[in-house]
Amino acid sequence: MDKFAIAAGHRIKQMGMMAVIQGDLPVDELLEMGDALLAAPLLVMEITWHNAEAGAAIAALCQRFGAHLLIGAGNIITPLAAKLAIKAGAQFISGPGFEPRLLSQVLYLPVIQTIREAEMAWQAGCRMLKVQATALADAPTIGQIHRRWPEMALIATNAVNLTNIAAYARAGATAVSLDEALLPERIWSQAAIITQARKLRAAWEAALV
């Protein structure tokens, strides 16, 4: 694995949480959210890729926050989208399922829903992935994957909130992916983001003791 991918993975492990923010929001709003995350601190930010315009948001965030925030791109499905996101400055990419064409020099975090997908990712060299539980017959749990591949770092991404974040930590998750839990209200403020991020961090860290 490329040294930059290793470094990105290490930062995610250290942080234990990542904020997932929609990339179709105005850039000035995303920058304000970045300021709030920096203050919290919650130093990993994934921008959901809806179209190429998300690249401009990622570029603006990288320019503003530099080495202070780890900025990535989510919902990456095609090699072209990955190329555009990385060109914009994304330091990691994530997308549904395991897609071997997305393996690149940046950290790739496939969002897996089955044991088979986890096995494919492992065999391809992925050592960190996102786990989303589903109603599928072979849907994995954090605990199942952790027991089968103890070296795999797992990011829980299934409706993480203040009620269940501790359970994910106790099950062996390396980190959690936060979207609605971080922005529970449609009308947000920097103060609300900071407060919610700190509550989530406190619950996460308490479960790790």
Q: Are 95 and 75 in contact (CB under 8 A)?
A: yes
pLDDT for res 13: 96
- Residues 166-189 have a mean pLDDT of 86
- pLDDT of res. 195: 94
pLDDT confidence of 171, banded at 50, 70, 90?
Answer: confident
CATH number at 3-208 = 3.20.20.70
| pLDDT for position 138 | 54
Tokens found for residue 130: 């996102």
- Give residue 114's pLDDT: 85
Which residue has better confidence, 138 or 22? Answer: 22
pLDDT at 41: 97
Residue-range domain boundaries for the chain? 3-208
**Inter-CA distances, 170 with 90, 105, 173, 180, Å:** 30, 31, 7, 21
* 152 pLDDT more than 60: yes
Residue located via tokens 């300021």: 35
pLDDT tens digits, one per residue of 34-86: 999 999 999 999 999 988 789 999 999 999 998 899 999 999 999 999 999 99
What's the pLDDT score for residue 120? 94
> Where on the phi/psi map is residue 159: left (φ > 0), alpha (ψ -120 to 50), or beta?
left
Q: Regarding predicted confidence, which is higher, 61 or 185?
A: 61
Task: Reply yes or no on whether the pLDDT at 133 is more than 80.
Answer: no
Give the pLDDT score at 136: 47
Instruction: Give the pLDDT mean for 133-137.
Output: 53
